[in-house]
C-alpha cells in the first residue's frame, strides 16, 4: 500500500539536499505562488514543481495528487467567477476580472499543495525531524509529534478502510452512489476509529518513553545534517523565486 507522502528512494540532488533546505525551498515556492499575480508566473511555478518532481522520480505521485486537486481547483474557479462582480461583464453575469481571479485561485491551490508533497516524497521523516532539531533548533518533542502525525496518517486511513470494508460486508451501503448518504453512513464509524487511534497513540507514546525519548537532546542524532554549498544554492534559488514573484 503506497501513500502520497511515502519516501521514494533516490540519489538526485533533491534527495541529497539538507531536509531544512528542501523545506525552505518548498516554502519559498509556496510564498512565491501567493505573491505572483501574473499567469505566466503562476504557471511557471507550477511547471517548476512538476519538473523537479519528474527529475526526482515522484512525478507519478504528483499527477495522482493533481487528479484529486484539479476538481477542487475547478470548483474554486466556478465559485470565484460567480461571486466576483467587478470588471467588464462577459456573459451570464460572468466578468473578466471574476474569471481572472478565479483562475488565479485555482492555480494557487495547485501551486501551494504540490511543493510540500514533493519535498516529503524525497525526504525520510526521521531526517526531517532530526535536521529541524539540529539546524532550526526546534525542540525534539515538536519535531517528533509532527513526524509521528504524518506517519499515522496512512495508518489511520488503512484502519478507516478496514472499518469501511467490514461495515460494507455487514450490509451498510457504502457502495451507494449518493455521496451525502455515504457521508451520513460514515459518521458513526468515527467512534471505532477514534477508539483505535487513542489506543495506538498511547502505545506509541509508551514505546517512545521506554526507548529513552525524554533523554534525547540536540546532540543525540547519529546522523549529522550540515548545510552545504548545495543547500545554499537551493536557498538562493528560493529567495530569487520569491523576489521575482513579488516584483514581476
**C-alpha cell, 235:** 536557498
β-strand partners of 95 = 89
Tell which residue, 194, 214, 203, 196, has the closest CA to residue 144: 214
Residue 80's Cα: distance from chain center in Å?
Answer: 24
β-strand partners of 89 = 95
Convert residues 197-216 into a mask of x (bound to other proteins by CB under 8 A) and - (unbound): --xxx-xx-xxxxxxxxxxx
Cβ proximity to other proteins, 92 vs 219, nearer residue:
219
Contacts of 229 (CB under 8 A, 6+ apart): none
Residue 32's Cα: distance from chain center in Å?
Answer: 16
CB 83 within 8 A of CB 102: no
Convert residues 118-137 into a mask of x (bound to other proteins by CB under 8 A) and - (unbound): ------xxx-----------
Cβ proximity to other proteins, 97 vs 159, nearer residue:
159
| 85 binding other proteins? (CB under 8 A) | no
Cβ proximity to other proteins, 151 vs 228, nearer residue:
151
Give the C-alpha separation, 69 to 75, whole Å: 10
| 55 binding other proteins? (CB under 8 A) | no
Residue ranges in 146-185 that form contacts with other proteins under rule CB under 8 A: 148, 151, 154-155, 159, 162-163, 165-176
The residues of the shown chain that bind other proteins, judged by CB under 8 A, are 1-2, 6-7, 9, 124-126, 144, 148, 151, 154-155, 159, 162-163, 165-176, 188-189, 191-192, 195-196, 199-201, 203-204, 206-216, 220-223
Amino acid at each position: 500500500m503506497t501513500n502520497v507522502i511515502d519516501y521514494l528512494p533516490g540519489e538526485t540532488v533533491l534527495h541529497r539536499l539538507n531536509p531544512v533546505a528542501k523545506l525552505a525551498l518548498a516554502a519559498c515556492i509556496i510564498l512565491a505562488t501567493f505573491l505572483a499575480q501574473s499567469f505566466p508566473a503562476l504557471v511557471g511555478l507550477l511547471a517548476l514543481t512538476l519538473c523537479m518532481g519528474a527529475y526526482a522520480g515522484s512525478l507519478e505521485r504528483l499527477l495522482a495528487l493533481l487528479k484529486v486537486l484539479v476538481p477542487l481547483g475547478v470548483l474554486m474557479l466556478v465559485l470565484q467567477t460567480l461571486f466576483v462582480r467587478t470588471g467588464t461583464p462577459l456573459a451570464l453575469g460572468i466578468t473578466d476580472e471574476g474569471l481572472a481571479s478565479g483562475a488565479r485561485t485555482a492555480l494557487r491551490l495547485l501551486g501551494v499543495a504540490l511543493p510540500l508533497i514533493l519535498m516529503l516524497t524525497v525526504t525520510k521523516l526521521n531526517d526531517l525531524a532530526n535536521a529541524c532539531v539540529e539546524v532550526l533548533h526546534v525542540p525534539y518533542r515538536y519535531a517528533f509529534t509532527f513526524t509521528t502525525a504524518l506517519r499515522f496518517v496512512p495508518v489511520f486511513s488503512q484502519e478507516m478502510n478496514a472499518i469501511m470494508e467490514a461495515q460494507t460486508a455487514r450490509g451498510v451501503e457504502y457502495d451507494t452512489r449518493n455521496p451525502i448518504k455515504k457521508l451520513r453512513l460514515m459518521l458513526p464509524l468515527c467512534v471505532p476509529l477514534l477508539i483505535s487511534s487513542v489506543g495506538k497513540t498511547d502505545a506509541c507514546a509508551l514505546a517512545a518513553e521506554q526507548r529513552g525519548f525524554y533523554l534525547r537532546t540536540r546532540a543525540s542524532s547519529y546522523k549529522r545534517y550540515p548545510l552545504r554549498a548545495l543547500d545554499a544554492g537551493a536557498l538562493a534559488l528560493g529567495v530569487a523565486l520569491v523576489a521575482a514573484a513579488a516584483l514581476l
